[in-house]
Amino acid sequence: MKLRNTLLAAIGLAFAATAAHAELKVGVVLSATGPAASLGIPEKNSIALLPTTIGGESVSYIVLDDASDTTTAVKNARKLVDEEKVDVIIGSTTSPASLAMIDVAAETQTPMISMAASARIVSPMDDKKRWIFKTPQNDLQMASAIIAHMTANKVKKVSFIGFANAYGEGWYEQFKKQADAQGIEIAANERFNPADTSVTGQALKLMSAKPDAIFIAGSGTPAALPQKALRERGYKGPIYQTHGVANNDFLRICGKDCEGTLLPVGPLQMARSLPDSNPVKASALVYVEKYEAAHGEGSISSFGGYAWDAGVLLQAAVPTALKAAKPGTPEFRAELRNALEGVKEAAGATGIYTMSAEDHLGLDERSRVMIEIRNGEWSLLK
Amino acid sequence: MDMEIALILGQDGITNGAIYALLALALVLVFAVTRVIFIQQGEFVAYGALTLAMMQGGTVPATVWLLLVMGVLVTALDGSAALRAGQVRRAAAVAGWNLVYPLALLAVLAGLPVNELPLAVQVLLTLGVVVPLGPMMYRLMYQPIASAPVLILLIVSVALHITMVGLGLLFFGAEGQRTPAFSDASFDLGPLMISGQTLWVLAVSSLLIVALYQFFERTLYGKALRATAINRVGARLMGISPTLAGKLTFFLAAFIGALSGVLIAPITTIYYDTGFLIALKGFVAAIIGGLASYPVAALGALIVGLLEAFASFWASAYKEVIVFTLIIPVLLWRSLNSRHVEEEE
């Protein structure tokens, strides 16, 4: 792993050296290798699609890999600020890494746009987090979509199983808060590890509570394991998943056991099938077409969209900041932060961003839709 | 919890336990004969499963290139040594096994429509690709330092483990794979539903354990391995080549690893780094057996499997903690109950 890091750092440096004369410098930290690689790779691909001039200023992107490791992410962020003198940081892929990078960004007064999901990255707002913005929907928005769907379908009793890590815990917190408010009972609460090879025990426990529905809070292909175990044990009721599973590898691994799975996703995932009245459709399609032209039909994932939207925010904010200061100075970074906070109705691939001093995410209910897996494909619920 | 749940958990635990047992046996074997702690065992599990998945995906498995590269290195080392000693026949044999065989395998995999072949042939080809990596690894990495202290051998193992995980990511990508089950049959036994794959796992592991027993009890090579395990110097004086013993051991360990991978790939999703955790549980079992006793290690593996299954029912958030904490009372009991022998350096 060490060797891999060194190599990647070397590649990153080589990349940096060729781009040394550009005016606006954007530092990117993402997880192109390691457990979060399936999220980080589309992000990396999307960074490559971002415009090379904004507001008449040329832009260079310096991409470093953190190997899904928190310590490396912090080291990379520091390197970007100290050695590369970047004006803004985009990153990182995972929530733990992004949370850890907040200190670096705040200390060096560099605006940072995270591509990770946790709400704690930008709230509660404080002196440090005023430098931090993020593009993916909060669990809050996604959980509210699930709760709304459950209430509409008269689900009264739910069994919950989540990752035994921050992802699962975070979801449980959000979900429980909203379920309690809606009078939905959580009958069983179980955990499993992404690396587990069997979840039979948990599946039995979930089913023995006789729930109306089961909610699995996991991300990526590991979230298929409980679903397969439940179906194998004869569970016939509805299963909800989170948007963390919305990639095609999940469909491939889960196969026919995932028919009928319900989940909330960002509109990007469904861009083509959205009705024209959907406000995000046009801006999402811009990204979809660009990405698919470079990486092939059906290669799109919401994670790449988060990186793209970091670019959208920059395109909305940088021209304003350029009027007040020159890139490469502390004044410019402060102006850029103010401009990011003032972004209004910026249409990205994930949703429409309207920032404020209190809200550094800026997304509303336009940033998610409920979908179902039907015939091995994602399809929009009407 | 009622009887039905206990039965289902028991079945789940025994299935997992059977795989842990195989891996524990391999770990004990490798340690007894070569004093190497075989951390890479898990990578052979993942390589086996993912090589099969790649074949079924219709691509030439990348592991065959690794086989070729290692084969070339072995040929260069052993072949040139044999030629310098004037042993032309031996050089030819070395080249045959390490150069011609991987090339032939590559030709078969690239030339035939492998994804359309019957599953049994695919499994054989998978074993044919992954298993020879074991003895080649011994030849290249361990044989030159065969008499080094256990600690150095362990460090080499850690290095190889990390290298193999990295190569695994390169070969197979970050995403997991599942292969189709050997049979879709399932049997209802009272409240239990036993899938065909579970029976395959149990049958193959018991068969393999019996075969290994026979091998060690009845055959000359098996007895040679046992002799090496009991007394390395003594065995050498009796004309048993430690090199041969090492290669044979690694062959068996790689075979067990790859076969385990092929067996569990239909039951669970295998990622390039899944093997480590599976092998680690096999390692807990091997520790229960004191890295010396095969029956106790196999029994330990069953305990680990069952403990895991029941822990996941009662306290799913602490499952891993419970399984790995098992090692502490076991070590305590072992250290109180056994005579401490300093390793001779």
Give yes or no: residues A123 and A144 share one domain. Answer: no
Q: Are B264 and B176 in contact (CB under 8 A)?
A: no
Give yes or no: residues A222 and A293 share one domain. Answer: no
Q: In a structure prediction context, what are the per-residue pLDDT tens digits for chain B, which is 345 residues long?
A: 678 888 888 888 998 899 999 999 999 989 988 889 999 999 999 999 999 999 988 888 889 999 999 999 999 998 888 888 888 888 888 888 888 999 999 998 888 888 888 888 999 999 999 999 999 999 999 999 988 888 999 999 999 999 999 999 899 887 888 888 887 777 777 767 778 888 889 999 999 889 988 988 899 998 888 888 888 888 889 888 888 889 999 999 999 999 999 999 988 889 888 889 899 999 999 988 888 888 888 999 999 999 999 998 888 888 888 888 888 888 888 888 776 555 544
Residues of chain A with C-beta less than 8 angstroms from the C-beta of B321: none
- On whether residue A375 sits in a domain, the answer given is no
Q: At what angle do helices B119-130 and B242-264 cross, to 10 degrees?
A: 140
Q: Name the band, by pLDDT with cuts 50, 70 and 90, for residue A378.
A: confident
Domain tally for chain A? Answer: 2
Give yes or no: residues A163 and A82 share one domain. Answer: no
- On whether residue A321 sits in a domain, the answer given is yes
Domain edge (last residue) among A265, A300, A315 = A265
- What's residue A19's pLDDT? 42
Amino acid at A27: G
Interchain proximity B166–A1, CB inside 8 Å: yes
Domain that holds residue A149: 139-265
Give yes or no: residues A253 and A148 share one domain. Answer: yes
Residues of chain B with C-beta less than 8 angstroms from the C-beta of A221: 175-176, 269, 271
- On whether residue A275 sits in a domain, the answer given is no
Interchain proximity B174–A200, CB inside 8 Å: no
SS3 B120: helix
Q: What is the CATH number of the domain that holds A314?
A: 3.40.50.2300
- On whether residue B328 sits in a domain, the answer given is yes
- Candidates B15, B269, B316; nearest CB to A201: B316
User: What does DSSP assign to residue B145?
Assistant: G
- What's residue B23's pLDDT? 92
- What's residue A214's pLDDT? 94
Q: Name the band, by pLDDT with cuts 50, 70 and 90, for residue A20.
A: very low
> Six-digit token pair at A105?
């960004």
- A154-A160-A161 Cα angle (round to 5): 150
Interchain proximity B308–A199, CB inside 8 Å: no
The interface predicted TM-score of the complex, written ipTM, equals 0.75
> Six-digit token pair at A218?
């996991």
Taking alpha carbons only, the member of A310, A337, A368, A281 closest to residue A63 is A310
Selected residue with higher pLDDT from B255 and A118:
B255
A4 at B interface, C-beta within 8 A: yes
How far is the CA of B220 from the CAs of B110, B138, B188, B293, B295, in angstroms? 38, 21, 44, 21, 22
- On whether residue A220 sits in a domain, the answer given is yes
SS3 A374: strand
Residue A14 has pLDDT above 60, yes or no: no
- Residue B68: what are its φ and ψ, rounded to 5°? -65, -45
How far is the CA of A58 from the CAs of A27, A54, A315, A322, B115, in angstroms? 14, 6, 12, 12, 49
Give yes or no: residues A46 and A148 share one domain. Answer: no
The predicted model scores a pTM of 0.76
**Pairing mode, if any, of strands A157-163 and A213-217?**
parallel
Domain tally for chain B? Answer: 1
Interchain proximity A164–B274, CB inside 8 Å: no
- On whether residue B20 sits in a domain, the answer given is yes
- On whether residue B268 sits in a domain, the answer given is yes
Partner residues linked to B193 by β-bridges: B188
Give yes or no: residues A128 and A10 share one domain. Answer: yes
Share of chain A above pLDDT 90, in %: 49
Give yes or no: residues A131 and A6 share one domain. Answer: yes
- What's residue A308's pLDDT? 95
Interface test with B, best of A161, A200, A233 (most B CBs within 10 A): A200
- On whether residue A271 sits in a domain, the answer given is no
- On whether residue A274 sits in a domain, the answer given is no
Using one digit for the tens of pLDDT, what is the confidence trace for A54-82?
988 899 999 999 988 899 999 999 999 99
- On whether residue B345 sits in a domain, the answer given is no
Give yes or no: residues A173 and A199 share one domain. Answer: yes
- What's residue A140's pLDDT? 80
- On whether residue B165 sits in a domain, the answer given is yes
- On whether residue B344 sits in a domain, the answer given is no
- Report the pLDDT averaged over residues A134-146: 87
Partner residues linked to A378 by β-bridges: A373
Residue A2 has pLDDT above 80, yes or no: no
**Pairing mode, if any, of strands A369-374 and A377-380?**
antiparallel
